[in-house]
Amino acid sequence: LNDNPSRYKITLSGTVKSPKINFDPPFLMLMPVPLDMKTETAINIIPQDYLRQSRIQVELPELELEDGDRIYPFSVQFPEERNIVLSSDGTNKKLICQISFRSSRPVSFLGSMFFIDEEEN
């Protein structure tokens, strides 16, 4: 290039993939149980396109009862780990999440739990 007026054109193209997580099963229905008994199930969290490790946090729903009391009847546990890890083959390892419900008061609920990574996705 030194003092040569020739011009070079470089064209770059690429695809940006945003990290996301899928769930198996995509919907969760817990069976009705007697008061103060626990019902639980496991779901698979399937991360995609994460390029670095990220820790999953869960926002659990707060339920308001007829008398105005508020309860948190759901709990979650990650029996193995809650970090999204990039495997040596470039894929993300699935996570197992154990979701349980227990209430000493009669309650019915239809709503969402939010699973959030460190980037708040």
Pick from 97, 78, 94: which is nearest to 86 by CA? 94
- At position 86, the amino acid (one-letter code) is L
Q: What is the pLDDT of residues 13-42, one digit of tens each?
A: 888 888 889 999 998 888 889 999 999 999
Q: What is the pLDDT of residues 74-112, one digit of tens each?
A: 999 999 989 998 887 878 999 999 999 999 998 888 888
Q: Which residues pair with 58 in a beta bridge?
A: 115
Per-residue CA distances from 88 to 51, 52, 85 (Å): 11, 12, 10
Cα–Cα distance, 36 to 17 (Å, whole number): 44
Pick from 77, 66, 56: which is nearest to 103 by CA? 66
Q: What is the pLDDT of residues 26-83, one digit of tens each?
A: 988 888 899 999 999 999 999 998 888 899 999 999 998 888 899 999 999 999 989 9
Q: Which residues pair with 84 in a beta bridge?
A: 54
